Structures are given as C-alpha cells and as structure tokens.
Structure 1
Amino acid sequence: MELGRSLVALGGSFLAAGLLARAGRRIGLPTIPVFMAAGILLGPHTPGLVLFEDPGELKVLAALGLIFLLFSLGLEFHLDQLIGGGRRLLFAGGSYLLLNVGGGLLFGHLLGWGEREAVALAGIVGISSSAIVTKLLFELRRMNRGETPLILGIIVVEDVFLAFYLALLQPIIKGSSGMTDLALQVGRGFAFLLALAALARWGARTVARLVDDPDDDLLVVCFVGLAVLVAGGAELVGVSDAIGAFMAGLILAASPVAGRVRPLVVPLRDAFGALFFFAFGLRIAPADVWSVAGPVLAAIVLTLVLNAAAGLVAARIHRMDMTAAVTITLSVLARGEFALIVASLAAAAGLDARIAPFTAGYVLILAVIGPLAASHSDAIARLLPGGSRPVPGAAADPAGARPAAPAGEDRPGDLRPRASEPDPLPVPSRPDHADARAHGLAHETGRDRPLDVHPKCDQSQVEQELPRTASGDRAAR
C-alpha cells in the first residue's frame, strides 16, 4: 500500500506539473516557474490536495533532475565558443558578471543574513536563466539581430563562471573550521575541477569508448551511470554533485559519441528536471514568500539597474545603439534554473531558511516579466530618454548591428547567420548522427517540448544559424 501511494503521488506530480505548464505556455509563461508553482500549490504548506507531506521523499529523484540538467549543459559547452568571440566579448561578459554577481554579493551582505548566505545570494541574483534566454531568442526570431551575438556571448561567459562558482560555493556554504580548512576545501574542489577538465581535454576518447555502444539503450545506461557516478564522486570529495555532473557532460562533449548522447539525454533531463523544480516548490510556504517580499522587490530593482548598466557597457564596447542596449538588458533579465540550483544547495547545507522563499519569489517574478519585457524591448527603448539616439561611441547603423556577412564570406567571432542563410526556423526534425555536432539537439525545438532547459548557448539551434570560420569550425565554438 505504501508503495502504491508513493507511485500515485509521483505520477500526480509529473501530471500536475505538465498540465499546468501546458496551460502556462498558452499565455506565454516559461515552464520553469510553472513547475515550481505546481510544487507550491500541491505542497504541504498550501491548503488543499497535498501530494507529498515531506519534500525529502523526492530527494534522490530531484537530485537526478539536477544531475541531468547540469550534465546536459556540460554536453553543449565548448571553450572555443568563448575564444571565438574575441576580447571585446570577454570584456562585455566579464562586465556583466562583475556588476551582477558583485552587486548580488553586496546585496547579500546588506541583508545581514550571514556571510555564507551572501555568497549564495551572489549566484542567485547574478546569473541569468539559460533556459529562458535561449528559448526567448528563438521564439522572438532574433537570431539575425546585431545584439544577439553579444547576448549569446554573455551567457557563454556565465557558463564558464558557473563551473568555478559551483566549485567554490560548496566548501563555503558547508562551513569550515578556519581559513586553512576553507583553503584546503576550495583547493580540493578546484583540483577536482582541473583533473576532470584535463580528462575532457586529453582523455575524452577513452571515456567515450567506455560508454559507447551501437545500441542506444545500452548507451543510455552507460552515460547515465557515468553522470551519476561522477556527480556522486564530486559530492564525496566536497564538491557539489552539480559541478560533477557538469564536468561529466563536458568530458563527453569533447568525444565522438557526444552527438548521439545529446538527443538521448533530453527526455531524462526534461522529466527529472521538471521534478527538480517541482520538489523545490514543495519546500516553499506562500506565507514565507510574503515575509521576504521587501528583499525580493529590492533584489528585482537591483537586478534591473545592474542589467541596464551592463547592457549599456556592452553596447558601448560593441558600438551599438540604445535599442540594442535595452534589448541586451531585458533579454538576460530572467532568472531561473541556476538560481534554484544554488538555493537548493544552500537549503541542503542548512543556510538561512529565508533563502528558499526569497529565491522562489525572485525567480517567479523575473521569469515572467523578463520575457514579457524583452518581447517589447524596441518599444521600451523608444520611451526612454535618448532611446532614439545611439549610445556614446555607437555605430551609425540605427539597428546597432553590423551587416550580416555576404554569402560565402566568413567572419570569425560573428554569431549571426550569413546573408545567404535562411531565417532561423524551421530546423530539421531528426538530426543525422553522422553530422551530430552540427545538429545536436535541433530536433528538440518546437512547442511539444515539456521543458526548455537549454544551456546558455544552445548548440544545436544556434549552429543552424552560425557561419563557419575559414577552418570549418563554427564561430560560436
């Protein structure tokens, strides 16, 4: 009987999350905050139907959701994406992180919730949502816009930062007996990170031979085992399971088997990822969200101000106009899966209980208003003082964009399609494994996907639009 009740509750969780997300999609809401809202509505802190009295019952399954989310992100990440963007792209992305993460850290200190809590809040406030930003660019059909390469570059820089941030976060939030102990824990985390990075650079083919199999079913079993094993090992050595899963994906991303793994991990990521967000919502009491309404609103205002400053800096560096600056600001405004991941790690470490409801309210609001504001960025720019004029140092082009490269001409570091290439959509419904690196997850696009948790630079879709460099590599890689 107990097993039956657990299965009914689990099935109800999946179904409720899916049905609510479908309803939300009809009015343009991203799926991530809806999954979280489903957990709040059906959790023990809300009157009515309660599926799980104890959110801990979903602890392992929710951990699998986190693992598959970060594993999928690692599969899509390539350092060449960052290098190909050039020094200006690095500076723009670095400026965004400095303003937002630095501002988040200062905000955390001003709240007075604690030093460790401030470090967690820096990541919650400072890192944008991979899922929402990537999905937004394609739904608004903005891949040909001049500012889009810069938006993609910012989120790729965030990817790099995320790996180091998670490695640093875990020993800090778990506490240490002194600076020496903290230094040892941080050093151990970075050593683990560097060891796996070296394995990704020089041992990826060996790992690929370990998991590869002609049959997809056995390939799935093997790469799932690898992801969970590395994530568990990371947790054992004091690094978060999230960074372990990310590095496992990074290792396979550099291997010949990556093209086959990417589409196979999608259903696992979507299903268990939805459960991760649902389980996070189970912990949230609506009354607790109301109790931190002041800090939530202050954080939203701070994020708007810092994003605006970062957008202006990025536009000036790349000689773009005010419309481009506003579009950059609003496109990367939404917060989502990474804020929830950090909040989940903070809750597991026993940090201030207010972090979870704060993150819930912060993410719910920004995940909704971010895409809505971004879809009207041009109109918003016209309403601003000087919105019809270029920012200082901007190019004369009123769109703030460089023209697309002529047919046959390649421009390294330019993430936009050539003039001869078609509008971004549609994309192929099934990727050819022989050209898997060029198609990746292209078959995922569309309205039938239950969970859009793509990495910050969604390889499959973006690569459809990107020119090749003279060497034949994609400019975004």
Structure 2
Amino acid sequence: MIHLPVLIADLGLILAAAGVITLLFKKIKQPLVLGYILAGLLVGPHINIIPTVSDNKSITIWGEIGVIFLLFSLGLEFSFKKLVKVGGSASITAIVKIIFIILAGYLIGKAMGWNDMDSIFLGGIISISSTMITIKAFEELGIKHKKFAGLVFGVLIVEDLVAILLLVLFSTMAVSQQAAGPEMIKSILKLGFFLILWFLGGIFLVPSFLKATKKLMNDETMLVVSLALCLVMVLLADKVGFSPALGAFVMGSILAETTQAERIEHLTKSVKDLFAAVFFVSVGMLINPSILITYALPIFLITLVIIFGKIIFTVLGALLAGQPLKTAVQAGMSLAQIGEFSFIIATLGVSLKVTSDFLYPIAVAAAAITTFTTPYLIKLSEPLYNFLNKALPIKWVEAIERYSSSTEGITTMSDWKILLRSYIFNTIIHSVIIISIILLAARFLNPFIQIQLNAGANSTIISVIISFILMSPFLWALSLRRIQRTAYSHLWLNKKYTRGPLIAIEIFRIILGIFFVGFLMYEFFETWVAAIIALTLVILVMIIFSRKLQSFYNKMENRFMLNLNERENRTPNILPWDTHLTEITVAPESELVGKTLVDLKIREQYGVNIAMIERGRINISTPSRDERLYPNDKLLIIGTDDQLAKIKPLFEGIVDETLVSIPMEDMSLQKIIINSKSSVFGQTIRDSGIREQTQGLVVGIERNGQRILNPDSNLVFENEDIVWIVGNNKKIPELLK
C-alpha cells in the first residue's frame, strides 16, 4: 500500500477547509482573507471539531512559500518609479502616519505592562495599512476613479517600502535585543546598498532579457521564467542575510518596470492566490481562541488605536502635505485597517521567538475587525467631511484652503537644488556599483582564478585588471563626467562667489574616485609600494582612455534609461489642475460598443478626453476620431471626479433584465408537435410570437418526411408539423400546448 506523505495530507486538509469557508464568505460578501484565517483556526491545533493538521513544521514551510509569492505580487504592483512619482504629498502623509502610529502602539503596549520588544512589534504591526483590503474595497464601492484614491495608492506604495525596512530593522533588533546602536545603522545602510544594487542590475538586465526572448515566450514559459527570477532573487537575498520575502518583493518591483508587467501579474495570479491562501490559513492556525478571550480588552483598545489613530494621523499628514480637507479626510477613512504586512511582521516575531504568545492572535483579531469596518468607514468619509466643514471654525477651514493652494504652486527648483540633487544621485549610484565590483572581485573572482584556473601568484594581478576594467566606466562617471551642464553654466557664469563651492565639489569627486581605486588596491596588495605604483598606472589609464570610457558609459546609460522608461512611454503622462487619469473597461453590454469616438462625442458632452485605448497587447495612444470601441477595451480617461463619475455608467452599460432572466440551464432544444388546436396553427413563424414571448428560436421543421433546417420566417405552421425550438423549456410548452 502506498503511504501518503503527511505534507500532502495536511495540504489537502488546509485547502479543503479554505475552500468551504471561503465559499461561505463569498456568499455573505465578506473578505476572503478572513475566511482563510477562520479556516486555519478550524484546522489548527487549538480546535478539535474537525480533523486537524498533524505536522505544523511542514505547514510553516508552505506559509513561507505563500509569503514569498504574496510579496512578489505586491512588488509587481509597487515599482520604485511609482515611489518616486507619488511625490511629497503621499510620502509626507505616510511617514507622519507611520511614525505616530508606531509611537502610539509602543506607548499603549507599555501602558498595558508589555515588554519593550512586544510594544515595538505592536507599533510596527498596526502602522502598516492593507493594500489588498483597500484596493478591494475601492473596487467594490466603485471609487477608484476618485481623486483621493491617487493619494491613498501613493501612501500604500510608501508604506510597502517602509514595511520592508521595518522587517529588516526588527530582525536586527531581535538579534541584538536592542532598539538602537551601530547594528541598526549598519542594517539600514546595508539594506539601502543592496536595494540600489539590485534595482540598477535588475533594470539593466531583466527587461533586456525579456525583450531578447519575447518571441520565445508563450504563457507557459513566461510563467516559469517569472517564478524562476523571483526565486533567484530570493536566494540572493537570503545569501546576503536578508529575509527571502525581501528578495521576492524586489524582483516583483523590477518586473513592474517592464512592458510585460501586466502579463506576468496575470499569469502568476493563480500561483499567488494559492500560496497566499495557505499563508493566511497558517496565520489562523497560530490563533488560540482562549487567548482572544483573555485579551479581549487589549484587542478592543488596539482596534480603537488603529481606527481612530490612523484616521487622525493620516488626516494630519495629508494636511501638512498640502492636501485639501476633503481629500485628507477621505484618505484617512480609507487607511484605517491593517493587513498582509502586519501578519508578516507578526510572523517574524513568532519565528524569531522574541514576542510573547499573545501578540500574534491579538494582531490577527484586530486585523479581522478593521477589515470588516473598512468599507463602512470609506462610505462615511464624505459625511464626516461635511460635518467637519460645518463644525470647524471658518478661519480654520479658510487657512487649510490657503495652505493647500500655496503648496500646489511650489514646483520650481533653483539651479543649486538641481545640481546638488544630480551630484548626490550620481555619487550614491556609482559608489554602490564600484564597491560591489571590488567586493565581488575580492570575495569570489580572485579565489576562483587562483583555485580553478591554477593562476597562483598571478591571480591577484588578473583580478585587479578585470576589476579595474569593470570599474573604469563608473569611475569616469563618478569623478569626471559633466552633470547638469545648463545649471552648472548658470552658476559658474552668473555669480562669481559660486565658483569656489563648484570647484570644491569637483575636487571632492576626483578624490572620491582615487579613494575607490585605492580601496581596490588595498583589497589585493599587501605592500604600500605595489599599491602606489598600481594606483598611479590606473589613474594614467583613466586619463588616456577618457573618451572611450565616456562613449561606453553613454551606451550603457542609454540602455538603462530605455529599459527604465519603456513602460512609461506607452502611457501619456497628463495631470493638469484637478484632473487625473483613470482606467475604465468597456463592458460587452455597453451601448458604446461598436461606435466611433466622433459619434460618441464624449469630449463635447462630458468634458473628458480618452488618452489611450489598450486592446489586448495593442496600445493606441491618443486615438483618432474614427477609432471604434470594442468589448473589454481598457481606456485611459482624463477628467475630474464629477466628470468621471457621470461617464462611468455609460461604459459599464445598463443590463436589460429581459435578456438575462433565463438561466443557462433553462435553455434547451425542444420538440413540439403542432395540431389544429395549437395556438400557432395556421400562423407564420414571424406572427406566432414564439421569439417575443418565449425567447425561443425555430431551428427546424419536419413535414411529411421532409426536414427544413432554419426555415424562413414566412413559413406557415401546418397540422402534424414537428417543430424543433431552442428556448426556455418552461415557457415554450405553455405557448404551444
């Protein structure tokens, strides 16, 4: 007899419980995440109503796989370029909210007598809002086109990155058992170093690889390649000491910059859904119901902090960022929940064994409650704004409006700001690349040449030459490349007292380049004399081949920028005044299907413009007046909230109830025999009313041994005709009996 492995049996039990419970939750229109958690509670070790999972360690492995694919999918929706584009408003709002909520969580934890680690983890758990729950609520309420939704999505993007940072910081704190110090700073710098390195390398290599293999990529190979890239980055992250989930998130964000992002997201959705379900079930398995009863009061207090704290501090952050009062209130009411990253942070505390047993169930309970309340809070956001607008002193409301208007005009940058920002980016990016080349050469290249190629003493010289060749374009860009020529010229020519700082900056760049060359020599040479000789030769080579280095670097930079902006170039970037872009899909039942844009007169009647039509893999930018709309076309439309709200029902279509009143199972092919007493006897097919009264269609008539397929509508029914009809099997017999 074949023995079924415990892992497969447990997985089957988990998915069976998840399937049954989530069907119930789908029926009562509640978030599926809560269904998964309840399923985990039922099959967990604390409830014995149904068979329970026998090997918790194996399920932990499935849960870790679930986290990897969950964060990979979040990364596909993230992208670092989106983080740059969300601007100061979303960044300020998110940072203000997170700082105050972490502080509030820590203080309430200490007030309840918890230790420092529990209180710190509590602050991190309740600080991050749920991207999945918020987007799902927006879709169900039909408000994704609202202007405040753009601010909310921007805040969620910033929070995703902060959550990754918190995972790294909390891991460091768990190991060092302290909240500050050199280890914390080292972890932050290490995270920043690898994020920059992975992003630069990923954007340079991955899109180029996908373009080169585009003709070979069907759906199957694209799925395999995408998951392979994800898991390769997971291995790299684990190799350098980070969480595997971080690697999955980074690869997702890299793929989000490619033109294949939507396709990859679609192909990996099923994989993500499967393992995310296993993860959330594993979350439920760790809940002890007795702990929930014992800690009912802390759960209640923490839920209040999440809801009211997030509303207050999000509104405060949005107002400080220059958002109008209405937008700030709507954003605050939309972000008053915790979700997937909160579970991951709580799981981290459990896996590292630095948090108490009660913290995890409390976090899950608070997440469940706030998930339920999210849609209702979003619905109440506008009434709350109307109340505040009337209740607040008029001077306060006017001051908020003046501040919001004044911040919108701050868009210009001085020449100094432009130049310094470019120099900072140039220095950080190229320093990271150069340091990584040196460390890779010293740790891996040199031992490989020495051992595998039997180069002996010559391995050092070979390694230095290879390293320098790889470094040289980036050394040139770091130390000698001209940056922001226009701003530099303005500062040099217009104000003489700016020449001193400019010269100092250029000298610093040259010294930094020499330092990195010296660092390379220090890694490979033991004597100072050899290092100085090598350093002199390297600098001479840099000067002699400066033009060739410039040409080579420019080619690499152009390739990088092409990969970085390729997806963006497919979509027009138009954001004037209070208008914004939103995506609307043309429903198959919409009355707009088949009509040209000139016939629809959307711009003239509603004041909106169609910026782009996405039809399968075809993108039509700024479509012409003769372009027709087809079912499932995705349109990028620009307009105000009110304009988009008016036009949205047109694209969704109004369903004629008479056309969908017949269930599919009620439609069938039926045989009817006509006699002299039949109501349709002596009438033509057209005049019989079969089509109008029964939604039936006459497809054949058998008369005197002859068969007439798809008869003419003018054919008259005769006695003993055998009629074949496709239609409602309940209505047709009534008409023809």
TM-score category, normalised to shorter length: 0.7 to 0.9
The alpha-carbon distance between structure 1 residues 146 and 91, as it changes in their structure 2 partners (threshold 3 A), is same
User: What's the counterpart of residue 357 of structure 1?
Assistant: 361
Q: Equivalent pairs: percent with the same residue? A: 23
CA distance in 2, matches of 1:465, 1:330: 26
Contact 1:44/1:54, CA 8 A, preserved across alignment: no
CA distance in 1, matches of 2:363, 2:574: 43
The alpha-carbon distance between structure 1 residues 204 and 118, as it changes in their structure 2 partners (threshold 3 A), is farther
Q: 1:366 aligns with which of 352, 370, 386?
A: 370
Q: Which moved more, 1:265-274 or 1:280-289?
A: 280-289
The alpha-carbon distance between structure 1 residues 8 and 187, as it changes in their structure 2 partners (threshold 3 A), is same
User: What's the counterpart of residue 197 of structure 1?
Assistant: 199
Contact 1:207/1:252, CA 8 A, preserved across alignment: no
CA distance in 2, matches of 1:189, 1:246: 13
Deviation at 1:310, TM superposition (A): 2.4
CA distance in 2, matches of 1:465, 1:41: 46
CA distance in 1, matches of 2:47, 2:579: 46
CA distance in 2, matches of 1:141, 1:155: 19
Matches within 5 A, 1:277-426: 277-313=280-316, 314-315=318-319, 317-321=321-325, 324-352=327-355, 353-379=357-383, 386=390, 392=397, 393-395=399-401, 410-411=574-575, 416-417=580-581
Instruction: String of CA shifts for 1:286-331, please: whole Å, max 9, x gaps.
Output: 1122222222222111122322222432257545345x44432221
Contact 1:71/1:249, CA 8 A, preserved across alignment: yes
The alpha-carbon distance between structure 1 residues 21 and 44, as it changes in their structure 2 partners (threshold 3 A), is same
User: What's the counterpart of residue 131 of structure 1?
Assistant: 132
User: What's the counterpart of residue 232 of structure 1?
Assistant: 235
Q: Which moved more, 1:217-226 or 1:29-38?
A: 217-226
User: What's the counterpart of residue 77 of structure 1?
Assistant: 78
CA distance in 2, matches of 1:436, 1:221: 30
User: What's the counterpart of residue 471 of structure 1?
Assistant: none
CA distance in 1, matches of 2:195, 2:116: 24
Deviation at 1:186, TM superposition (A): 4.8
The alpha-carbon distance between structure 1 residues 234 and 317, as it changes in their structure 2 partners (threshold 3 A), is closer
Deviation at 1:256, TM superposition (A): 4.1
Matches within 5 A, 1:160-179: 160-175=161-176, 179=181
CA distance in 2, matches of 1:372, 1:80: 32
Instruction: String of CA shifts for 1:257-280, please: whole Å, max 9, x gaps.
Output: 434311111001101001100011
The alpha-carbon distance between structure 1 residues 174 and 245, as it changes in their structure 2 partners (threshold 3 A), is farther
SS in 1 for 2:4: helix
Letter in 1 for 2:172: P
SS in 2 for 1:3: coil
Q: 2:250 aligns with which of 247, 265, 272?
A: 247
Instruction: String of CA shifts for 1:184-205, please: whole Å, max 9, x gaps.
Output: 4554444333321222343333
CA distance in 2, matches of 1:210, 1:60: 35
- The answer on 1:121 being equivalent to 2:122 is yes
Deviation at 1:108, TM superposition (A): 4.1
CA distance in 1, matches of 2:190, 2:248: 17
CA distance in 1, matches of 2:15, 2:377: 30
SS in 2 for 1:410: coil
Deviation at 1:389, TM superposition (A): 8.5
User: What's the counterpart of residue 141 of structure 1?
Assistant: 142
Q: Which moved more, 1:211-220 or 1:94-103?
A: 211-220
CA distance in 2, matches of 1:10, 1:325: 44
Q: 1:264 aligns with which of 261, 264, 267?
A: 267
User: What's the counterpart of residue 616 of structure 2?
Assistant: 432
CA distance in 1, matches of 2:274, 2:251: 20
Deviation at 1:342, TM superposition (A): 0.8
The alpha-carbon distance between structure 1 residues 179 and 432, as it changes in their structure 2 partners (threshold 3 A), is same
User: What's the counterpart of residue 441 of structure 1?
Assistant: none
The alpha-carbon distance between structure 1 residues 285 and 253, as it changes in their structure 2 partners (threshold 3 A), is same
Letter in 2 for 1:247: V
User: What's the counterpart of residue 9 of structure 1?
Assistant: 10
TM-score by length of 2: 0.52
Count residues in correspondence: 431
Deviation at 1:247, TM superposition (A): 0.7
Letter in 2 for 1:320: P
Matches within 5 A, 1:434-453: 434-435=618-619
The alpha-carbon distance between structure 1 residues 167 and 432, as it changes in their structure 2 partners (threshold 3 A), is farther
TM-score by length of 1: 0.78
Letter in 2 for 1:171: T
Q: Which moved more, 1:187-196 or 1:353-362?
A: 187-196
User: What's the counterpart of residue 50 of structure 1?
Assistant: 51
Instruction: String of CA shifts for 1:166-216, please: whole Å, max 9, x gaps.
Output: 232322223469945555455444433332122234333356479874132
Q: Which has the larger radius of gyration?
A: 2
CA distance in 2, matches of 1:345, 1:250: 22
Deviation at 1:435, TM superposition (A): 4.9
Deviation at 1:113, TM superposition (A): 3.6
- The answer on 1:68 being equivalent to 2:63 is no
The alpha-carbon distance between structure 1 residues 172 and 316, as it changes in their structure 2 partners (threshold 3 A), is closer
CA distance in 2, matches of 1:253, 1:423: 21
The alpha-carbon distance between structure 1 residues 80 and 355, as it changes in their structure 2 partners (threshold 3 A), is same
Contact 2:299/2:366, CA 8 A, preserved across alignment: yes
Contact 1:65/1:274, CA 8 A, preserved across alignment: yes
Deviation at 1:336, TM superposition (A): 1.3
The alpha-carbon distance between structure 1 residues 146 and 46, as it changes in their structure 2 partners (threshold 3 A), is same
Contact 2:98/2:127, CA 8 A, preserved across alignment: yes
User: What's the counterpart of residue 473 of structure 1?
Assistant: none
CA distance in 2, matches of 1:372, 1:2: 50
Contact 1:36/1:278, CA 8 A, preserved across alignment: yes
The alpha-carbon distance between structure 1 residues 187 and 326, as it changes in their structure 2 partners (threshold 3 A), is closer
Deviation at 1:349, TM superposition (A): 0.6
Letter in 2 for 1:134: I
Contact 1:259/1:436, CA 8 A, preserved across alignment: no
The alpha-carbon distance between structure 1 residues 424 and 300, as it changes in their structure 2 partners (threshold 3 A), is farther
Letter in 2 for 1:290: I
SS in 2 for 1:133: helix
CA distance in 2, matches of 1:78, 1:98: 23
Q: Which has the higher strand share?
A: 2
CA distance in 2, matches of 1:296, 1:96: 21
Structure 2 residues not aligned, in runs of 5+? 403-407, 409-571, 594-613, 622-631, 640-737
Which structure has more relative contact order (CA 8 Å, sep 6+)? It is 1
CA distance in 2, matches of 1:383, 1:46: 46
SS in 1 for 2:255: helix
Contact 1:292/1:357, CA 8 A, preserved across alignment: no
CA distance in 1, matches of 2:620, 2:168: 30
CA distance in 2, matches of 1:370, 1:267: 26
Deviation at 1:74, TM superposition (A): 1.2
User: What's the counterpart of residue 273 of structure 1?
Assistant: 276
